[in-house]
Amino acid sequence: MDFTLNDEQRMIYGYGEKLARTWGHDYWMDKARKHEFPREMWQQMADDGFLGAMIPEEYGGAGLGMMEMTLLMEGMSNAGIPMLMLVVGPTMSLAPIADHGTDDQKQRWLPAACRGESNFCFAITEATAGTNSIKINTLAKPHEDRFLLSGSKTFITGADVCDYAIVVARTTPHTEVKRKTDGFTLFVVDLNAKGVERHPVNINLPIPETQFSIFFDEVDLGLENVIGEVGKGFDILFDALNPERILVAALCCGIGRFALEKAVAYASEREVFDVPIGSHQGVQHPLAAAKTQVEMASLMMRQAAWQFDQGLPAGEASNMAKYAGAEAGIQAVDAALQAHGGNGFTEDYGIYELYPIVRLMRTAPVNREVILSYIGEKVMGLPRSY
């Protein structure tokens, strides 16, 4: 594997950082404190062709891959703008439509989304199932030649600014299937349709995107809303979940670098006992150790993206990248915070406000313990633990 970036990939990586520096971390933080979506910046990304990075050119996209989307996220996060909507929209939602939808579905939904005229989110999590997605209860009952969708989803990122959701539902209850992975179906659901309600979930986290619970009451759907085959949605589900893990790793690595860059600048200028505090090993070593962890996580992230783009099994690398990225991001922000001393807790220096988002990524979208259990069982061959 050669992870040397080609000219186009370097341009995308640089574009992400340039875009973030143009709008500025202060712009993002202002939106984050207000929980207000940065529509102007989002539209610029659409106008510049990046919301459709993973969409074929004939449907309005750029025809690129997971590596390029990862570089975009990493570049933006390097400059202090971690956009969660890049995860749930262009990556988790649009790419599965592009890969598994019919031509009519692609023509109907993808060009407008690439232009920023409509937005998508991804809805799988349920309050009663949590990490055990096998036991989701949202059910699309057959009704004549159509379906009636009922149930609920929670912790759905950005549902207020989205027109559609990819909803993971069951068309056969988990109590009635032969194999636990049978009976899943992915639907594109109009969030303004009759029977759909959105309610905000109050999250104490400074990010622009708001979390929502979505309730479905006999929402009318047809085969035109089904992505892939009825009852076989589990087969394509990981085309969304592995990229989610990869992009979360990119976000965390970028925020880690951003925090460390701030810490290095501060520790090089701040003098105590007549010397810069960065000359003291007690300050220098934690920053250097965190930098090492960030760069190792970034390499695993790129391996996962490469495997995904090659059509190779990417679950192992994707989960390791997500785990490593979250832990490295937390370590980097914590080291930067400690280097700043009391100043790190002030708004003027902007360090402490970085901590909640990287700490969130230890828990979401899949928690650290489940990832370690996956690695233990699926990678190392240890007995199943859950």
pLDDT digits (tens, 9 = 90+) for 345-370: 999 999 999 999 999 999 999 999 99
Q: CATH number of the domain at 368, please.
A: 1.20.140.10
Judgement on whether residues 266 and 364 belong to the same structural domain of the protein: yes
Q: Which pLDDT tens digit goes with each residue over 250-308?
A: 999 999 999 999 999 999 999 999 999 999 999 999 999 999 999 999 999 999 999 99
Shared domain check, 185 and 279: no
**Two tokens, residue 112:** 């407008």
258 and 338 inside one domain: yes
Cα torsion 277, 278, 280, 283: sign = positive
Q: Which residue has the tokens 């960065």?
A: 278
Final residue belonging to a domain, choices 95, 119, 143: 119
Question: Scanning the structure block, which residue is given the tokens 């309050």?
Answer: 127
- Token pair of 291 as six digits: 């930098």
β-pair type (120-123, 164-170): parallel
Instruction: Clarify whether residues 150 and 115 are in a common domain.
Output: no
In percent, how much of the chain has pLDDT > 90?
92
| Range of the structural domain that residue 196 is part of | 121-232
Residue partners of 349: CB distance under 8 A and separation at least 6: 262, 266, 340, 343
Beta bridge partners of 220: 148
The answer to whether residue 384 is domain-embedded is: no
State the total domains in the chain: 3
Cα 236 to Cα 160, 196, 222, 232, 348: the distances in Å are 26, 25, 19, 8, 45
240 and 206 housed in the same domain: no
pLDDT in tens, 66-92: 999 999 999 999 999 999 999 999 999
Alpha-carbon gap, residue 46 to 48, rounded angstroms: 5
> Is-contact 93 244, C-beta < 8 A?
no
Contact 228, 172 (CB under 8 A): no
d(CA 210, CA 116): 19
Same domain, 165 and 297: no
Domain annotation covers residue 47:
yes
Please tell me whether residues 107 and 208 are part of one structural domain: no
Is the pLDDT assigned to residue 11 strictly greater than 80?
A: yes
Residue 2 placed within a domain: no
Residue 257 lies in a domain: yes
CB burial of residue 4 (10 Å; 0-12, 13-18, 19+): exposed
pLDDT at 184: 95
Pairwise CA distance, residues 188 & 166, whole Å: 5
SS3 state at 37: coil
Read off the CATH number of the domain in which 40 is found.
1.10.540.10
pLDDT band at 2; cut points 50, 70, 90: confident
> Chain-wide mean pLDDT for the chain?
96
Task: Looking at 92-207, list the stretches that DSSP marks H as alpha helix, in order from N- to C-terminal side.
Answer: 95-100, 103-114
Residue 107 lies in a domain: yes
Task: Say if residue 133's pLDDT is above 90.
Answer: no
Quote the tokens at residue 205. 């986290």
Whether residue 15 is found in the same domain as residue 48: yes
Are 66 and 94 members of one domain?
yes
- Cβ atoms within 10 Å, residue 247: 33
**Residues whose CB is less than 8 angstroms from the CB of residue 168 and which lie 6 or more positions away in sequence, other chains included:** 123, 124, 133, 136, 138, 184, 186, 233, 237
Do 364 and 253 belong to one domain? Answer: yes
Q: How far apart are CA 68 and CA 233, in angstroms?
A: 26
pLDDT score recorded for residue 74 = 98
For the stretch 12-25, pLDDT in tens is 999 999 999 999 99
Percent over 70 (pLDDT), the chain: 100
Residues 147 and 126: their CA atoms lie apart, in Å, by: 20
Distances in whole angstroms, Cα of residue 225 to Cα of each of 74, 163, 253: 33, 14, 36
Per-residue confidence at 129, pLDDT binned at 50, 70, 90?
Answer: confident
pLDDT of residue 1: 73
